[in-house]
A = this chain, B = another copy of it.
Amino acid sequence: MKKTVRPAYHHGDLRNSLLAAAEALLMEKGVAALSLREVAKATGVSHAAPYRHFRDKAALVEALAATGFKRLQHGCEQAALRHANDPARQLTEAGMAYLLFATEKPAIVHLMFGGSISLGACGADLQQAADAAYASLARIVGNGQQSGLYQQADVMDMTLTAWSAVYGFSLMLTGGLLGKRVSTRAKLRLQGEAIAQILLNGLLRR
């Protein structure tokens, strides 16, 4: 055989290996304790190697956060498709999908909304992923208004309110603030739906 194992050079996809290792370490030890050197070691590569694939530590963290926003966007789009004629349901389900994600990967949510990252001053990839997710949510809110279900308020204001609620509640969830109140999947669904109900009530016309 011509091709031999090259122990020095890596498997051709070091970038993704690093991201996976970073996510695992993030889950384990939290945002603050995440170190690039440890990520490198876990991937079996020298501590300088990641710099071939990420400009700096922030760039790696941003890439991880971007996956979260893509997931949020995906949840919105799925909900919009599945409940095509029920804007209220679209909003509730999109929110619930995100909350489930938040319990699965709390560390990523911390990254997305936790201020470790400044969405005001970040790379183009992350910026774009966040904008796309926001646009998806805005579309769902827009559906509700066009159908005459919601009041005639600024769509942007309504979207901002919904986004803030998701933002805030997901962080409370991952921050362990809620404790026993959402200790099971069933309880989480109940709590999420209760909040969605109030939020929705706020959007409806009177």
Contact pattern, A 134-174, Cβ under 8 Å of B = 1, otherwise 0? 00000000000000000101100110110111111101101
B202 close to A200 (CB less than 8 A) = yes
In the assembled complex, which residues on chain B have CB atoms less than 8 Å from the CB atom of A118? 30, 175-176
Question: Is A116 engaged at the interface, CB distance under 8 Å to the other chain?
Answer: yes
In the assembled complex, which residues on chain B have CB atoms less than 8 Å from the CB atom of A174? 115
Question: Is A203 engaged at the interface, CB distance under 8 Å to the other chain?
Answer: yes
A120 close to B177 (CB less than 8 A) = yes
The count of identical subunits is 2
Question: Is A1 engaged at the interface, CB distance under 8 Å to the other chain?
Answer: no
Q: Give the shortest distance, in Å, between A98 (CB) and chain B (any CB).
A: 12
In the assembled complex, which residues on chain B have CB atoms less than 8 Å from the CB atom of A176? 118-121
Question: With contacts A202-B202, A206-B201 known, is A161 near B165, CB below 8 A?
Answer: yes
Contact pattern, A 112-129, Cβ under 8 Å of B = 1, otherwise 0? 011110111100000000
In the assembled complex, which residues on chain B have CB atoms less than 8 Å from the CB atom of A166? 164, 168
Residue from B32, B179, B195 within 8 A of A120 (CB atoms): B179
State the majority secondary structure of interface residues on A: helix
Question: With contacts A153-B198, A191-B157 known, is A164 near B163, CB below 8 A?
Answer: no
B160 close to A169 (CB less than 8 A) = yes
In the assembled complex, which residues on chain B have CB atoms less than 8 Å from the CB atom of A110? 115
Query: In whole angstroms, how far apart are the Cα atoms of A30 and B120 in the complex?
Result: 13
B177 close to A172 (CB less than 8 A) = no
Question: Is A21 engaged at the interface, CB distance under 8 Å to the other chain?
Answer: no
In the assembled complex, which residues on chain B have CB atoms less than 8 Å from the CB atom of A165? 161, 164-165, 168
Nearest chain-B residue to A30 (Cβ)?
Answer: B118
Question: Is A20 engaged at the interface, CB distance under 8 Å to the other chain?
Answer: no
In the assembled complex, which residues on chain B have CB atoms less than 8 Å from the CB atom of A199? 161, 199, 202
With A113-B115, A157-B191 given, can you name 9 additional A-B contacts, CB distance below 8 Å?
A114-B116, A120-B175, A157-B194, A158-B198, A160-B191, A164-B165, A168-B168, A199-B202, A202-B202
